[in-house]
Amino acid sequence: MRTPMTATQSLSEPKKILYAAAALSAAAALIHLWVAPEHFEEWWGYGAFFAGAAVAQGAYAAALLYWSGQWFLLLGVAGNSAIVLLYLVTRTLGVPFLGPEAGEVEGVGFLDVCAAASEVALMCVLGGLILWRLLRGNAAVVLIVLGVVLMVGVHVPHAFLLLKLMLQR
């Protein structure tokens, strides 16, 4: 008979955390794939971006279960950070540089909030894994640092909205 895991044992199982990270990446990929056709109707470049993001996030989800080295985790944080940053820019300052809607501020919708939330959660999970490995499982320090990162991350959208309001004057 198998004994139940304690909280410490379950936290020391990085494979389960990798499954959660892969699910978050897959969720963002599916949303980007779902909205790609409507973006292709607007302009091929917008559609290509969403299709490319879907492929990259889907491939990352699958690969994460086989390669979970520090560099690969950092790649996931960097890639998803870039997508979230672009999302924030298009919702506050406008679509940058290219396409027929360049300069226009996009509206916020349910699906894009779900995708962004999945990406932010993925970045937190990957960042937590990186910290966990660096600190060799010192859970208290990892949780404190992760809490600080989350608090800063929550306030980044507020900073963008404030910047937008200041620029409108």
Average pLDDT, the chain: 85
Report how far residue 59's alpha carbon sits from residue 22's, in angstroms, rounded to the nearest whole number.
10
Report how far residue 102's alpha carbon sits from residue 94's, in angstroms, rounded to the nearest whole number.
7
The residues near 69 (Cβ < 8 Å, ≥ 6 apart) are none
Confidence of residue 15 (pLDDT cuts 50, 70, 90): confident
- The C-alpha angle with vertex 28 and arms to 27 and 31, in degrees rounded to 5, equals 90
More confident residue, 162 or 3: 162
- The C-alpha angle with vertex 54 and arms to 114 and 37, in degrees rounded to 5, equals 85
Q: Is the pLDDT of residue 10 over 70?
A: no
- Helices of type H across the chain: 7-11, 14-42, 44-64, 70-92, 110-134, 139-168
Confidence of residue 5 (pLDDT cuts 50, 70, 90): very low
Report how far residue 150's alpha carbon sits from residue 144's, in angstroms, rounded to the nearest whole number.
10
Q: Is the pLDDT of residue 34 over 80?
A: yes
Q: Is the pLDDT of residue 88 over 60?
A: yes
**Does this model's pTM top 0.85?**
no
